Amino acid sequence: MQKLKQKSFSKEAIGTVVSDKMDKTVVVKIGRLMIHPVFKKRIRKFKKFKVHDEKNIAKVGDVVKIHATSPISKGKYWKLSEIITKAL
């Protein structure tokens, strides 16, 4: 019998913590650069994600790495992987 190889792909992103007021949850802002289809100018687009932070270690201003996971609550689909840079 042949074993099927399962591809272990998970989405990862790097962003900045903008809020840490909730318990075990931080809000991370992730930005990307895109070209406007008509005017061909570069535009910055941002999106905010609620991220599960089990130990409440991330603070506002930290640059963090997050990865997608199964739903934790209604709005939380991401978990904190690591803190890349601490805020001053």
Q: Determine, yes or no, domain membership for 15.
A: no
Is 56 domain-assigned? yes
What integer pLDDT is reported at residue 1 of this predicted model? 54
Give the residues of the chain that fall short of pLDDT 50.
Answer: none
State the CB neighbour count (10 A cutoff) for residue 72.
15
Q: How many domains would you assign to the chain? A: 1
Does residue 11 lie in a domain region?
no
- Give a yes or no: residue 10 inside a domain: no
Residue 41, domain CATH:
2.40.50.140
Reading the block at residue 11, the tokens are 């989405």
Can you give the pTM of this predicted structure?
0.82
Does residue 48 lie in a domain region? yes
E strand map for 1-88? 12-19, 25-35, 42-52, 63-68, 76-85
The reported pLDDT for the residue numbered 88 is 83
Give domain status of residue 4, yes or no: no
The reply to whether 29 falls in a domain is: yes
Provide, rounded to the nearest whole percent, the portion of the chain with pLDDT above 90: 86
Residue 65 is part of which domain span? 21-85
Mean pLDDT estimate for the chain:
92
| List of residues 6+ apart from 8 with CB closer than 8 A | none
